[in-house]
Structure 1
Amino acid sequence: MSSGETIAVKVLATNSKQGEKEFQTEVTLLGRLHHRNLVNLVGYCTEKGQHMLIYVYMSKGSLASHLYHSQHKEPLNWDVRVHIALDVARGLEYLHDGAVPPVIHGDIKSSNILLDDLMKARVADFGLSRVEMVNKHAANLRGTIGYLDPEYISTGTFTKKSDVYSFGVLLFELIAARNPQ
């Protein structure tokens, strides 16, 4: 950018599973949510049928790329893994207890955790998120198999516990470097 800041642009493909509603959810939520452990939305574009989100660039990529594609990256040491877990926990705590109204992320997984040049983690991809007070019940199951809360699967009701369960799966990934899918 003209300020010298590097950005990342996420372009919604026309054949993407993430539709207009999810795009609007992400723009609306990230427009009002600001925390050091959430990705920073710089702007968005909806011109000429294109849907683009513009974020602050996270130079180290996703947590998943470090856990599962380590032949291109140095393996994460335990201190870094613990700090990543704490960063994600702080981001979730803000969503659940600091945001007004509270927000349920709905898709906590290693590919939705982005890392900056200092390996600080930020929660990303808010397309499936819900404001807790508005719509706890999902018409159809959404999220990623392996990370979904069994209670959510059986009842269709999204709660903060759903995110906590997914966070537990993420902790398993950080410890074992095994994909839960």
Structure 2
Amino acid sequence: MVEALWSAVAFLSGSLPLAWWIGRWGMKVDIRRYGDGNPGAMNVRRAGGRGWFVLALLLEFFKGAIPIWLARHIGGLSDWQLIPLAIAAPVGHAFSPWLGFRGGKALAVTFGVWSGLTLWQIPMLLGGLFALFLRLAPPEARAVRLGMLSLDGLLAFGVAAGWAPAAWLVVALGHTVLLFWTHRRG
């Protein structure tokens, strides 16, 4: 029951279209008219520049990190209990009820979730994988898919070797499915 409540909090947090609201209320534009048409931080950058982008990126990141951190440190949840929350926040972003269940690609939220789970370890690894594959195998969508598959493989190895919790692999697999969906074009 407690996990369901925290999962609802994570979904609602993830579903808040903060980048879109920044565009609408701060920049007075609909950011979905730029770039790939998504309501995410990259289109804030395209529509309004670096300053607005940094704000949007941080807010999108924290809406994934904060529910996980709160559930861990205030709610006392750990390992397997965190899986539904860790998946709910990016799903909320990708299928935001605020935007008719048509949200963004959930990349910044996913990084936030991993920061809530592991602090810097997985976000740094994932960022490195994305950067590597963006260089070796553009475009962005392919780099994201290859990065997620690589993370899955590394975590599977880590679980077998005993240095990664199995719950992390389950979260990564859930994120892989979601990010494959949100990055299906390109």
Query: TM-score under structure 1 normalisation?
Result: 0.32
The structure that is strand-richer by fraction is: 1
Higher helix share: 2
**TM-score w.r.t. length of structure 2:** 0.31
